[in-house]
Amino acid sequence: MSQRFLLSRFIDLLVVLFGVSIIVFLMIRLIPGDAVAIMLGANTEITPDRIAELKSRIGLDQPILIQYGRWIWGAVQGDLGTSIWTGRPVMQEIGANIWPTIELTLLSVLVGAGLSIPLGAFMAEARGKGAEVFVRIGAIAGLTIPSFWLGIVSIFMVAKFLPGVQALGYVPFSEDPLGNLQRMILPVIALSLPMLANLSRLVRSAMLDALSQDYIRTAKAKGANRRRIIYKHALRNALIPFITSVGVSAGYLLGGAIVIEQVFAIPGLGRLVLGAIAERNYPLVQATILVMTTAFVLVNFLVDMLYAVIDPRVSR
Amino acid sequence: MIGFARQNRLFSFAVVFVALQVLLAVFAPALGLQDPYAQIMVQRLKGPSPVNWLGTDQLGRDILSRIIYGYRTSLLTCVTAVILSLLAGGTLGMLAAYYRGWFDRIVMRLMDVLFAFPILLLAIAVIAVLGPSIWGAAIAIAIVYTPIFSRLLRGPALVICESEYVTGAKAIGAGDMRIIFLHLLPNLASVVLVQTSLLLSAAILVEASLSFLGLGAQPPTPSLGLMLSEGRNFLLLAPWPAIFAGFAILFLSFGFNLLGDALRDTLDPRLRKES
């Protein structure tokens, strides 16, 4: 990987993060009407004193450039302000809610990406046969099935046919590893299905593409067996679009996790941000969105780097 | 035409499937359905019957009627959102490709930043600012899709701008507007058609998610996402509202996705030969 490539990607990364921070920062300031009165209006009586007090507490009484400077300086040091209602640092609230979301997202990536390879290979084999149209329709159905609905239906099924099985809520892995994984099964299935559909379609077309290349013909001519051709030669070359897609899917999963957490009563970042919106606790809303987006941007940065390691042509 | 339909069975099926749902939504008031807002308390949470084909919800409202009116809400929101984002994103992407230089760089940087947010999270952020409503949801989806359209159109537009016929048009002194409207737009039509259909399919899911979270349509509006979130409270007692609403979302989103997919095959002869 050339240093120039690394440097230019790193500058891109900083520019995007800077832009993201500006948008998130402006959120509060774009709320129509008096944002502070709206925030207070959710839980307490509005008095001019209270407005002035809250304004100075979240720094809204300063010139906007100074506000941004202070906010971003704090953010870089891990201080994103305090929650309006509890007075606790928002980073503490995020820290308390981040693990279920990380676990849910990671498990879903593993399941979705892991299963998509054999499934995509299988779909590629169905090409030109009568089953092809079903494969295609199945993939689109997987992509368009509302994951939260799938979650709700699965909860219903479990409650009806497997009473006594705990499908809702969350227990930390460190406290009860089995209970933790058991409660993760349904949310992970619901969350990973659209990703599975998307990735397996990609694996299918990448494989079909690779199988028509000359080096596959050479491998066949050499007498390599089918399985070896598919897994060693064809799949390896499908890896790059695959990895990019996994990175992009991470964003879908983070968004989807918000809904799935709501369905399965999992106390993660999704529940945190929705609760914060309902309470109009904007510093917490801002911080959660900033943290989740930064995570997504960093994941894609790493994917880009990985890309260059796998395929040296990229960084040249 | 009939020969075409036979050749492209999947495409014809997709067209009929989507048209059926859209027509239901458009002509909902003329179908003689029950009032989707009428609450009949003694008829709460009843299963499917000759009177209420798909049963009733927790307030005794007819589910079939609420689903068809829910289609209206969903389509209205999503079509508005996709048109807005196509206008904004498509215009920006096309102009960026046409003018290149600093304009291109600034616009695409801006799009990169919007693109950096996970889709649903950005939509939620927009609604946190605008307040929850169907119009809030429509604007949120439009903002989320703007960078997608701009990227989708910039690529093909760049290729067209480099083509000989555009160079030729410039050489004979055609103005910017003439080139953009006469050469660029018509040649982008097929990309636009396919992507609009695919993004509409995704928008339907985003809108349903937002309404499900209470950030889109508000009660008592008939909304598919809202029906799911209300229905889940009575799941064991009466699963049908949630189950039927989910199928409705699936069918609508599925139809547009299949249509986009089939359109791509039909419009791109290179792909047709392959498959």
pLDDT (average), residues A149-163: 88
- The minimal CB distance from B120 to the residues A149, A258, A285 is found for A258
**Alpha helices, H only, chain B:** 2-7, 9-26, 63-85, 91-99, 101-115, 119-130, 134-162, 164-171, 176-178, 185-212, 224-231, 240-267, 269-274
A299 CB neighbours in chain B (<8 A) are none
Element holding A211 (H helix, E strand) = helix A177-211
Q: For the whole model, what pTM was predicted?
A: 0.90
Closest chain A residue to B122 measured between Cα atoms?
A289
Classify each residue of A24-51 as buried b or exposed e, where b means 16 or more C-beta atoms within 10 Å of its C-beta: bbebbeebeeebbebbbeeeeeeeeeeb
B45 alpha carbon, distance to own chain's centre: 31
Classify each residue of A165-190 as buried b or exposed e, where b means 16 or more C-beta atoms within 10 Å of its C-beta: eebeebbeeeeeeeebeebbebbbbb
pLDDT (average), residues A113-131: 83
Per-residue confidence (pLDDT) for residue B234, from 0 to 100: 84
What is residue A246's DSSP assignment?
H
CA gap A8, A295 in Å, rounded: 20
- CB contact (8 A) between residue B125 and residue A27: yes
Instruction: Decide if B86 contacts B189 (C-beta within 8 A).
Output: no
B124 CB neighbours in chain A (<8 A) are 258, 273-274, 277, 289
What is residue A172's DSSP assignment?
-
- CB contact (8 A) between residue A20 and residue B113: yes
- The minimal CB distance from B261 to the residues A19, A140, A274 is found for A140
- CB contact (8 A) between residue B118 and residue A31: no
Per-residue confidence (pLDDT) for residue B5, from 0 to 100: 59
pLDDT (average), residues A280-287: 88
Residues A180-210 have pLDDT tens digits of 888 899 999 999 999 999 899 888 888 887 7
Shortest distance between the Cα of B181 and any Cα of chain A, in A, equals: 32
Give the residues across from B56 on adjacent strands.
B62
Q: Which of B79, B54, B65 is nearest to B244 (CA)?
A: B54
Residues A233-268 have pLDDT tens digits of 777 777 777 888 888 888 888 889 999 999 999 999
- The minimal CB distance from B128 to the residues A16, A133, A277 is found for A277
- CB contact (8 A) between residue A259 and residue B120: yes
CA distances from B162 to A271, B62, B99 (A): 49, 57, 12
- CB contact (8 A) between residue A145 and residue B250: yes
Give the residues across from A82 on adjacent strands.
A89
Q: How confident is the prediction along chain B (275 residues), in pLDDT tens digits per residue?
A: 555 655 578 888 899 999 999 999 888 888 877 788 877 777 777 778 777 777 787 777 888 889 999 999 999 999 999 999 999 999 999 899 988 889 999 999 999 999 999 999 999 999 999 989 999 999 999 999 999 999 998 988 888 888 888 888 888 888 888 888 888 888 888 889 999 999 999 999 999 999 999 999 898 888 999 999 988 888 888 888 889 999 999 999 999 999 998 888 787 655 444 43
What is residue A89's DSSP assignment?
B
A160 CB neighbours in chain B (<8 A) are 236
A122: pLDDT confidence band, cut at 50, 70 and 90? confident
Per-residue confidence (pLDDT) for residue B166, from 0 to 100: 83
pLDDT (average), residues A42-62: 73
First to last CA, chain B: 21
- CB contact (8 A) between residue A144 and residue B110: no
Closest chain A residue to B227 measured between Cα atoms?
A149
pLDDT (average), residues A137-143: 88
For B156, phi then psi, to 5°, come to -60, -35
Q: Which of B212, B204, B219 is nearest to B253 (CA)?
A: B204
CA gap B213, A101 in Å, rounded: 17
Closest chain B residue to A145 measured between Cα atoms?
B250
- CB contact (8 A) between residue B208 and residue A133: no
Q: Which of B245, B224, B192, B266 is nearest to B13 (CA)?
A: B266
Instruction: Decide if B57 contacts B241 (C-beta within 8 A).
Output: yes
CA gap B176, B186 in Å, rounded: 15
- CB contact (8 A) between residue A258 and residue B257: no
Shortest distance between the Cα of B178 and any Cα of chain A, in A, equals: 35
- The minimal CB distance from A289 to the residues B10, B125, B212 is found for B125
Range with the lowest mean pLDDT among A138-147, A305-314, B138-147? A305-314
What is residue B35's DSSP assignment?
P
Q: Which of A31, A148, A162, A252 should one mutate to test binding to chain B, selecting the residue with the greatest count of B CBs within 10 A? A: A148
Closest chain A residue to B225 measured between Cα atoms?
A149
B78 CB neighbours in chain A (<8 A) are none
- The minimal CB distance from A251 to the residues B118, B201, B249 is found for B118
Respond yes or no on whether the N-terminal peptide bond of residue B220 is cis (omega within 30° of 0): yes
Shortest distance between the Cα of A283 and any Cα of chain B, in A, equals: 12
User: Which amino acid is it at A95?
Assistant: G
Per-residue confidence (pLDDT) for residue B272, from 0 to 100: 46
Instruction: Answer whether B201 touches A (CB < 8 Å).
Output: yes
A17 CB neighbours in chain B (<8 A) are 116
Closest chain B residue to A297 measured between Cα atoms?
B116
Range with the lowest mean pLDDT among A106-120, A153-167, A188-202, B125-139? A153-167
- CB contact (8 A) between residue A146 and residue B253: yes
Q: Reply yes or no on whether the pLDDT at A36 is more than 80.
A: no
A67: pLDDT confidence band, cut at 50, 70 and 90? confident
CA distances from B144 to A171, A271, B118, B148, B206 (A): 34, 21, 9, 8, 10
First to last CA, chain A: 8
B235 CB neighbours in chain A (<8 A) are 152, 155-156, 159
A122: exposed, middle or buried (C-beta count within 10 Å: 0-12, 13-18, 19+)?
Answer: middle
- ipTM comes to 0.88
- CB contact (8 A) between residue A140 and residue B127: no
Q: Which two structure tokens, joined as six digits, stand for B198?
A: 């695919």
B106 alpha carbon, distance to own chain's centre: 28
Instruction: Answer whether B17 touches A (CB < 8 Å).
Output: no
More confident residue, A219 or A162: A162
- The minimal CB distance from B201 to the residues A144, A159, A274 is found for A144
* Percentage, residues of chain A above pLDDT 90: 29
Give the residues across from B97 on adjacent strands.
none
